[in-house]
Amino acid sequence: MFYCPFCGKSLKTEDRFCDRCGKSVEAEAIHARAAEEQSFLDQTHRLLKYERTALRTVGILFLVFGGIFLLFCGLTIAGLGALVFDSDTLSKVAAFGTGLAALLLALCAMAMIPWGIVNLVAAAKLTPYLNGIYSDLRPAAERNQSVGWVVLELFFNPFALVLWVINLLRFKSEKATVKRIIQNQTTVE
């Protein structure tokens, strides 16, 4: 959207002539379209960068906490061994409780470590989309149609899913801009 430099009327980026004064606004329209396309690319790049950061952050957190849980699991099992060799009943109850705690920590670690790895791999796979936005928007546009990314982010990182949905809605609502950008990028090649 831009304004006629002659009369100030609000015009669409597709307009070549002003509806009010009838003067040619083609140069201004070209400039407005270029600015709109650049703004779309910048916002897409920024959202993909935030999505990659969300994937990396959650991945690192899951790996760190999974490692801590494994460490505590090992310490708990070591403490369990010392309690088993005691003969009194209180020690046996404590050993049972400690064994349950060790099992719980091990289960948490077994869930968190793969989740962390999946998030870090997804962040790495997002990097080519991020780096190629300004030269070829098609892969990013195709990624927005991918059910695989939705499922991956739905199960492994809802924070990144929110950013993916925002980008998807932008691609859907600005179809004409996306189409124009892709046409411009393919004619340059």
d(C-alpha 79, C-alpha 56), whole Å: 34
Domain count, the chain: 1
Q: Is 144 within the bounds of a domain?
A: yes
| pTM for this model (two decimals) | 0.75
Q: Is 12 within the bounds of a domain?
A: no
Torsion of CA 65, 67, 70, 74, to 10 degrees: -120
Answer yes or no: is pLDDT of 131 > 80.
yes
Q: Is 19 within the bounds of a domain?
A: no
Q: Is 67 within the bounds of a domain?
A: yes
Phi then psi dihedrals of residue 24, to 5 deg: -70, 130
Q: Is 81 within the bounds of a domain?
A: yes
- By the 10 Å C-beta count (0-12 exposed, 13-18 middle, 19+ buried), 151 is classed as exposed
Residue whose token pair is 């109850």: 93
Average pLDDT over residues 45-67: 94
Average pLDDT over residues 8-37: 81
Q: What local confidence, expressed as pLDDT, does residue 145 receive?
A: 84
Q: Is 33 within the bounds of a domain?
A: no
Which distant-in-sequence residues (6+ apart) come within 8 Å of 150 by Cβ? 161, 164
DSSP-assigned letter for residue 16: S
Residue whose token pair is 């897409």: 44
Q: What local confidence, expressed as pLDDT, does residue 11 receive?
A: 78
**Residue predicted with more confidence, 67 or 188:** 67
Q: Is 29 within the bounds of a domain?
A: no
Query: Could you tell me the residue range of the domain that residue 123 belongs to?
Result: 44-165+180-189
d(C-alpha 12, C-alpha 32), whole Å: 9
Average pLDDT over residues 8-18: 80
Radius of gyration of the CA atoms of the chain, in A: 27
Q: Is 142 within the bounds of a domain?
A: yes
